[in-house]
């Protein structure tokens, strides 16, 4: 599928510089260590999955990598640009879909995406062209004029994705992009993302859905308790078994029990 959002910046296919490079990343909130020394390289042009149990530090890592949360220690660079030294330049390179933040939901879907584009300093003509494309791609045409506050959870996710895409970033950081999205829309989003990767973009997604990551991504990192347990191509990491089995093996915590006596109904 031709992707109108990746019209620029496709030339630098693989110059050896990783799209996202993280070294010795640490962050603590009070007593709780959320990220405990993460090293990660996301090659340019890869579709990278970030998997881990709840509270593993996925969201925190992505927030720090995209300039939304200042790390306690560590180096992060996007296409060679040091994120926390050149914040504005780095932010131009990356599109973010954050999980659990609000949107300006008193705007209509169309207004919201336009707003995101204008904030990034694009001209209104370019923005309006891209907004039309994005709304069509994400099946949001009919809801373009509805206030985002009245959207369903899945539609809200999709409009947030459109906001992340509108300035044609070279790296997309998506936190739980498929949560509460219906299967058809999820498949459409996957197509868009794969087209984006084919044309030279890089995607990093965090997800709980192992199955999805195994099918969709070419690289994966398993994170637990703020550390990287395994990272590499999908095949390297899963090593013969399924990603889900490998994940459980790495992370542990699986119970082999049938549940308590009283919950057996018959």
Please tell me whether residue 81 binds another protein under the rule CB under 8 A. Answer: no
Q: Which of 33, 36, 111, 248 binds another protein (CB under 8 A)?
A: 111
- To another protein, the closest distance from the beta carbon of 15 in angstroms equals 23
Spatial strand order in the sheet of 94-97: 94-97, 171-175, 202-207, 47-51, 219-224, 227-233
Q: Is 86 exposed, middle or buried (0-12, 13-18, 19+ CB in 10 A)?
A: middle
> What Å distances lie between residue 158 and 97, 109, 255, CA to CA?
10, 10, 35
Please tell me whether residue 101 binds another protein under the rule CB under 8 A. Answer: yes
- To another protein, the closest distance from the beta carbon of 58 in angstroms equals 16
- To another protein, the closest distance from the beta carbon of 123 in angstroms equals 6
- To another protein, the closest distance from the beta carbon of 150 in angstroms equals 4
Q: Which is nearer to another protein, 41 or 105 (CB)?
A: 105
The CB density around residue 66, as the number of other CB atoms within 10 Å, is 27
Please tell me whether residue 69 binds another protein under the rule CB under 8 A. Answer: yes
Q: Is 157 exposed, middle or buried (0-12, 13-18, 19+ CB in 10 A)?
A: buried
Contact footprint for another protein (CB under 8 A): 66-70, 87-92, 94, 96, 98, 100-108, 110-111, 114-116, 118-121, 123-124, 128, 141, 144-147, 149-150, 163, 167
């Amino acid at each position: 599928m031709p992707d109108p959002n990746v019209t620029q910046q496709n030339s630098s296919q693989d110059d050896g510089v990783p799209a996202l490079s993280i070294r010795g990343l640490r962050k603590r909130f009070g007593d709780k260590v959320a990220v405990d020394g993460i090293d990660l390289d996301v090659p340019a042009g890869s579709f990278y999955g970030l998997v881990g149990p709840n509270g593993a530090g996925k969201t925190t890592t992505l927030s720090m990598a995209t300039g939304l949360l200042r790390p306690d220690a560590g180096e992060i660079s996007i296409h060679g640009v040091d994120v926390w030294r050149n914040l504005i330049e780095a932010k131009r390179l990356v599109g973010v879909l954050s999980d659990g933040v609000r949107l300006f939901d008193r705007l209509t879907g169309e207004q919201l995406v336009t707003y995101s584009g204008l904030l990034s300093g694009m001209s209104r003509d370019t923005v309006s062209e891209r907004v039309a494309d994005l709304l069509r791609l994400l099946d949001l045409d009919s809801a373009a004029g509805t206030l985002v506050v009245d959207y369903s959870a899945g539609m809200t996710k999709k409009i947030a994705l459109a906001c992340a895409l509108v300035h044609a970033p070279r790296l997309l950081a998506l936190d739980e992009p498929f949560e509460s999205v219906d299967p058809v829309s999820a498949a459409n989003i996957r197509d868009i993302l794969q087209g984006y990767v084919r044309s030279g973009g890089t995607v990093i997604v965090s997800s709980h859905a192992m199955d999805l990551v195994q099918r969709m991504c070419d690289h994966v990192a398993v994170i637990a308790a703020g550390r990287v347990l395994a990272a590499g191509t999908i095949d390297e990491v899963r090593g013969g078994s399924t990603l889900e089995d490998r994940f459980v093996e790495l992370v542990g915590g699986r119970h082999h029990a049938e549940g308590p006596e009283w919950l057996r109904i018959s």
